[in-house]
Amino acid sequence: MIRKKQSALQIDEIKKIYSGYSGIYDFIFKRFFYPRQRYVINSLGIKPGETVLDVGVGTGLSLPIYPRHCNVIGIDLSSEMLSKAQEKVKKYKLNHVTLMEMDASVLGFSDNAFDYVVAAHVISVVPNPVPVISEIKRVSKQYGKIVIINHFQSQNKFLAKLEAVISPICTKIGWRSDLALEDLITETKLEIDQKYQIKKHDIWKVVYAVNNK
């Protein structure tokens, strides 16, 4: 069962850590995250006028990838990360993008608001992913598409134990390493349409779910 672990980061701690990352995040993580985000977003086939919620948008690495014919709202807990995202909105003239500071476990949107909800590299950052997924399902339209890109605990028993051991250390730098996808699916009742790794030994999985309300 997935719980809010004793070692899980609290909201204020997450804000502090990612505030520190904001100035160097792109330099460190772009080479790992951007190609995967580009591949996934380009595969969605987003149609003109459709609405997208990008949960945990961070510094906005994903924002220039979205087609300009859709409407994108990007949310993040860190105002410093959002400031970097806003620089990209201005630089690339992304008039179809709106940014908001928001807690993903308490989304300030009405039910059935989005055609797509994308959560890239964020589910293992939040203190408890279950209410975050519940909120994502709530704001997604019926039969809307939910896309999660994340590291999940290995199904190899040895690696899984190792990830559990190092998870308290990982939380100190901003994420947990022991989140099991199967437990997440069970507890949130996600209707999984597809899951895969872009590369054979990729440590991140792409998970597509359909919101069958």
In the structure encoding, which two tokens stand for residue 199, read together?
């590369």
Determine the pLDDT at residue 8: 53
pLDDT in tens, 8-49: 567 888 888 888 888 999 998 899 999 999 999 999 999 999
Structural domain boundaries in the chain: 11-210
Instruction: Give me the torsion for CA of 13, 188, 111, 36, rounded to 10°.
Output: 70
Closest CA to 119 of 177, 72, 54, 182: 54
pLDDT in tens, 168-177: 877 877 778 8
pLDDT of 142 > 60? The answer is yes
Position 212, amino acid: N
Determine the pLDDT at residue 2: 55
Closest CA to 121 of 23, 202, 5: 202
Determine the pLDDT at residue 138: 97
Determine the pLDDT at residue 106: 96
What is the distance between the alpha carbons of residues 59 and 30, in angstroms, rounded to a whole number? 10
Q: Cα 121–153–151 angle (5° rounding)?
A: 15
Determine the pLDDT at residue 7: 41
Arithmetic mean of pLDDT, 3-8? 47
pLDDT in tens, 57-102: 999 999 999 999 999 999 999 999 999 999 999 999 999 999 999 9
Closest CA to 32 of 170, 150, 175: 150
Position 167, amino acid: S
Arithmetic mean of pLDDT, 155-181? 85
What is the distance between the alpha carbons of residues 130 and 152, in angstroms, rounded to a whole number? 14
The better pLDDT of the pair 190, 165 is held by: 190
- Regarding the domain delimited by 11-210, which CATH topology (the fold level of the hierarchy) does it fall under? Rossmann fold (3.40.50)
Give the single-character DSSP code of 156.
S
